[in-house]
Amino acid sequence: MVQPQLSLHVLAGIPLVEPGDNLIDLLVQSLELTGLSLQPGDVLVIAQKIISKSENRYAYLDEVEPSSEAVMLAIECDKDPRQMELVLRESRCVLRRRQGVVIVEHRNGYVHANAGIDKSNIQSDEQRPRVLLLPEQPDNSAKRLREGLQTRTGIAPHIIINDSAGRAWRNGTLGFALGTAGFEAVENRIGEPDLFGRELEITEVAVADELAAAASFLMGQAAEAAPVVLIRGAHLRASEQGSESLIRDPAKDMFR
Amino acid sequence: MVQPQLSLHVLAGIPLVEPGDNLIDLLVQSLELTGLSLQPGDVLVIAQKIISKSENRYAYLDEVEPSSEAVMLAIECDKDPRQMELVLRESRCVLRRRQGVVIVEHRNGYVHANAGIDKSNIQSDEQRPRVLLLPEQPDNSAKRLREGLQTRTGIAPHIIINDSAGRAWRNGTLGFALGTAGFEAVENRIGEPDLFGRELEITEVAVADELAAAASFLMGQAAEAAPVVLIRGAHLRASEQGSESLIRDPAKDMFR
């Protein structure tokens, strides 16, 4: 069998995560159960949902007092005013609103429907409806996991916390990187000669999003919950910068 | 060694492609050289550039007579008026223009800077400057490759013709599917219970773009030209629909 350049493994046996759970323990156990041990250069892509759950980012709707702005938004968009209050608290501004749709700039910079809130929400056996917010600071969460895994295993993997979202121009959701640790999320690569062959064009490649999308494909296809994917073979460039480089400066964005 | 769920192989030994080259021959030879034979369900992701070259989608700038609209656009954006003429011919409309940037809706529906033209352009030893346009109908090109490979090998692989492009809101380019054959480019998947646990949410997932991005990551990282990536392990849904489902109806797009 020929060795692939890039291989993606779904980690087995990750249980339903509860607030306070130690994800380092879960990851170490799951790697062992899967028959894998971390190698230098490995990337762990971790679904936002289990980070948020472990960090207890639940909000109970009966504890939310909607502001008048949230009530207005809920009427305009035909949504729950308490949910809209949470969306507004999580956002810098609302970019688009229409029946059934609220697209915001999240306070961490990503453009996301409902501030990423409504996709992972209540379990049906819950007495009190609750929703799950995105991690407070995904880059910090990623960094903690990286450091924790280094302490436990001797290897500091690259970490991507991924989510999936809609986008402009094209149908269908796509996985993207919400937070990263350990590597350059956007790589400057030297491109091809320009139109007149005189200079080299620099291309910025969103490698973190490309790998997040690849892992998201597998997470979505798995028959059971598959919140963690190990990617082996990616040659990423070490960096402490986090995922900020992925966020386009709103002033330079022609599509807001 | 634990088997990965998804593996990506860069095909070896694809030469520089010239107009008229038979890509089926090149792919079959390259698979053999790489030590791989097609298996049912395999996906071949093929860089737009080699499709365009084999289809002789070169345009010579000295043969292009810029219209007055192209001249105006070239002045506004500080570009070559002949190149702008080609961009306009390849496009339905210009969405954004500013110094150094022209973003259009390509006649096939994708939103793309310079109609995808200026990234792969002249070779420096060319006497006459030329540029390379996108394939005329990428879905048709994909279908022909799929059928040709089936005839030659007995296996009809799923095909993605990929390119990479910038996007709204986020920095860095990302691979995406320009054309597809054999599978559902956008999958309807049943999601999680909704906010009140009463109904199931349907999520549309752009699986073709997720796989295109994964392959694009490898193509960009390869030390040498790596225009074809085989993806094994993706369980795609058979369909004859092509990539049209990926294009959002402009009337329903809130970010144009």
- Looking at residue B127, its pLDDT comes to 73
* Whole-number percent of chain B with pLDDT over 90: 83
- A169-226 pLDDT, tens digit per residue, is 999 999 999 999 999 999 988 765 444 444 446 689 999 999 999 999 999 887 678 9
- The token duo for B175 is 């691979």
- Looking at residue B205, its pLDDT comes to 95
Q: Are A18 and A128 contained in the same domain?
A: no
CB within 8 Å: B209 and A213 = yes
CB within 8 Å: A192 and B247 = no
- Looking at residue A202, its pLDDT comes to 64
Low-confidence ranges of chain A (pLDDT < 50): 120-122, 124, 193-200
CB within 8 Å: B218 and A101 = no
CA atoms of B203 and B205, how far apart (whole Å): 6
Distance from CA of B218 to the nearest CA of A (A): 8
Helix ranges (H only) for B106-242 are: 138-153, 207-221
Which of B110, B170, B195 minimises the CB distance to A83? B195
Q: What is the pTM of this model?
A: 0.95
In a domain, residue B254? The reply is no
Find chain B residues with C-beta within 8 A of A234's C-beta: 217, 221
Instruction: Classify each residue of A116-131 as buried b or exposed e, where b means 16 or more C-beta atoms within 10 Å of its C-beta.
Output: bbbbbbbeeeeeebbb
Find chain B residues with C-beta within 8 A of A174's C-beta: 206, 209-210, 213
CA atoms of B112 and B170, how far apart (whole Å): 15
In a domain, residue B256? The reply is no
Instruction: Please report the ipTM that was assigned to this predicted complex.
Output: 0.94
Report the domain count for chain A.
Answer: 2
CA atoms of A112 and A94, how far apart (whole Å): 10
- Looking at residue A121, its pLDDT comes to 46
Distance from CA of A29 to the nearest CA of B (A): 16
Helix ranges (H only) for A196-236 are: 207-221
Q: Which of B132, B148, B169 is the last residue of a domain?
A: B132
Q: Are B23 and B144 contained in the same domain?
A: yes
Domain that holds residue B126: 58-132
Q: Which residue of B has its CA nearest to A206?
A: B172
CATH number of the domain where residue B144 is located = 3.30.1330.100
- Looking at residue B128, its pLDDT comes to 82
pLDDT along chain B (256 residues), means of 10: 93 93 97 97 96 94 96 95 96 95 96 82 64 96 98 98 95 97 92 49 88 96 85 97 95 91
Q: Which residue of A has its CA nearest to B6?
A: A8
Q: Are B29 and B147 contained in the same domain?
A: yes
Distance from CA of B206 to the nearest CA of A (A): 4
Q: Which of B76, B99, B132 is the last residue of a domain?
A: B132
CB within 8 Å: B197 and A124 = yes
Which of B83, B173, B246 minimises the CB distance to A171? B246
